[in-house]
Structure 1
Amino acid sequence: MTARAKNRHSISLRLAAATVLLGLIVSVAVTALQVHVIYRNQVESAREQLDEIRQSLVPSLEAGLWQVDRGRTRLLLDALAHTPGIGYVQLDSEGRHVTRGQADAPVLLERSYPLIHDDGQRFDLGTLRVVIDSRSTMTRLRNAIARELLTTTAALLSMSLLLLWLFRRWVTQRLKTMATYASELDIERLQTPLEWPKRPSRHADDLDLVAQALNQMRERMLEEFEVRVRHERELQQHRERLESLVRARTAELEDKTRQLEEKSRQLQELANTDSLTGVCSRRQFLALLDQELARAQRGGAAMTVLMFDVDHFKRINDTHGHATGDRVLVRIAECCREQLRRIDVLGRLGGEEFAVLLPRSDRRGAAVTAERLRAAIEALVIKSDQGERISITVSIGVAELVHPDEKPDTLIARADAQLYRAKHSGRNRVCVDDESTL
């Protein structure tokens, strides 16, 4: 072997040795970094475990302490102490100290949770202290160190010659440039392509192709980003138009709903109220009579119905006109409302005929009420359009609920029969069932 060949061989050996040494150094550094990452992951996992304890177990423990459920509290503490990775737990509550686990366990992390019951007022229930045991973490770290050292060493030994060749071609510098560019690539840097440091002209290699592909990917990302921004802008505009239309349509529907509800209320009021006098219509009076009759029959309470109409009302219409007759009916309705109780129901059954429902009123009390109505109506002062005083009287029939199974029609018929008896007896009087005229 010539001196030049020996020298070249010696240089190659030294370079290979340096490469292996550098690889070992890198291996140790990488292993240390990986161990650090593993340790940090373990610590982060422990923190997540403590957070999960705060979210899942602490509320149940607070509930058990507030309810003084010692069995539940012990069960929760035992379950927590036997959780993998937990060294020991300590509960301080109302001067008592309860510990589960190994109090001498080495500490990786620990956390104290204030136990509070809050139902409008905050009540301090105590403190829960949880300690994460570091022994399992250290065991995993030792295993990871051994595994990573063996794996990295074997890989470096097999790749030493390749690394030597790559280093000769300045791979490291270009990879670093590419990694830096990729790590710093963001929306603002999409406009800037990847460029190598200026060097003497050379043939393109695989890394040049990778750089070219990376630049092509950057251009596509830029185009897609611009398209996405445009689409998002269009979607936002469309969403705003739709929301505006929905708000307008919702307001329109709410307004129409209010109008319909108001019209329905008005129609219901018109159907239940006599348009002239403002008292109950015939239909509404009969419906209320049916309800009150059923209630009285269930509870055994007294109930009475009055039927009355205006004496010689046709003569009033013929003499003074229908407008005056309507005014007479209105005044009679007003007079009756003034004399009746709040629970009494006054209804106009048609023409000049009225009816009164008197809940919780027997025949005797109803007769007194009927006589008071008759006297009050007789005392009304109503004048015609020509100023003439119009004499108004009414005849009233009274019928009390006496049969448990009596129907509304039968009760009204009995009161109506007494009304006609009052008419035939001379008018301007009250007749109660088959009793003598009052």
Structure 2
Amino acid sequence: MTATGDGPLAVALLTYSTRPRGGVVATLALAEALARAGHRVDLWTLARGGDIGFFRPVDRAVRIHAVPFPDVSDEAVGPRILRSIAILGEAFAAHRHSAARRHSTAQHHSATQQRSAGQQHEVGSWYDVVHAQDCLSANAVDDCVRTVHHLDSFTTPELVACHERGLRRPHTHVCVSAAVAAELAAGWEITATVIPNGVDAARFTAAADPGGPAHAARERWRARLGRYVLAVGGIEPRKGTADLVEAFARLRPRQPGPVSLVLAGGETLFDYRDYRDQVLARAASLGVEPVVLGPVPYEELPALVAAADVFAFPSAKEGFGLAALEALAAGVPVVARDLPVLREVLAGASAAGAVRFAAEPAGFASALDGYLDAAEPWPDRPPDPARVAAGRALARGFSWDVSAARHVSLYRALVRARSAAPPS
């Protein structure tokens, strides 16, 4: 490790879950890209409900610390938030103190040398950088970098406090889009470095290969679901599911044949059962019967996306739009909510018709209808090659290796500044 050179860094990344939420997906990919670049990466997470690892295999070069987080029956959201912060924070602090004691015993005489090597000198510290990926982990650790993937509006008092502290406590902030960075500056007067996420475009492009091994998996989804509009992210207020149901109800009479609305995903720390019940009740009243798949296994998701006729992305709040970019990589057209952040990230594919934006259910229905009509006669009409190429080019432009390199530049600047600071 060197403070001013280009040696490997020791980085701790922290996330609140092992399950496939967007921020967790991004954290895993960043960890692996940093490890590929030769850095030592520890990935800390809470292992909820008996989980023993992440939802997918992780590069063995990344050292995982999955902290057990047992379920408590009938636990409200507020107490669960506080318990999450406490358990993750205590485990992380204990590990750092233990490492510091071992290091001190072995190299007690080399404090000056350690300082020039860029190691932190707070009690119990041994990482060059501690990087929290959400408000829970930013509350659990001190002296950290924080990535703000998106900004939320909560009503639960413990969550409101967690969100605020998770923004105020970190010394350095990263946002994955300029739009979120602008929100952070306007609402909290915090300046963030913008480092976009990457996209595993090759994985989703391969899932759409007509002659590839994923062909059978796509055909299984088609046999089960027929024609379908897909949304990934679960049934949640932030994901705009209620508006999508309204749009789909307007769409159905326009289509000559059956089309399904498929809702996938939904792993979350929060309790959205009331919202889910309301959305499904409204759907029933409109004659809409969505296919609710819930979380889809990691290895099955690309084929599900690639087999869709249209990908719907009606989120009311987003930080980047990873799921939409994965759909574009699979060659699937996207209808997205007309948000500044989604314009920023996705507009590059709109000129070729790979993305359409809509602000309300009527516009969403029209955009979905247009893509479905363009696919007739189904399933024999090939997709528009210019549209597919534009979407894939946009997705390929977001590289995790580039994102990791930009993170490393930021990390090194922080290490240099700390090394140059006078001892406290």
- The two structures have a TM-score, normalised by structure 1, of 0.16
Greater fraction helix: 1
Greater RCO, 1 or 2 (C-alpha within 8 Å, sep 6+): 2
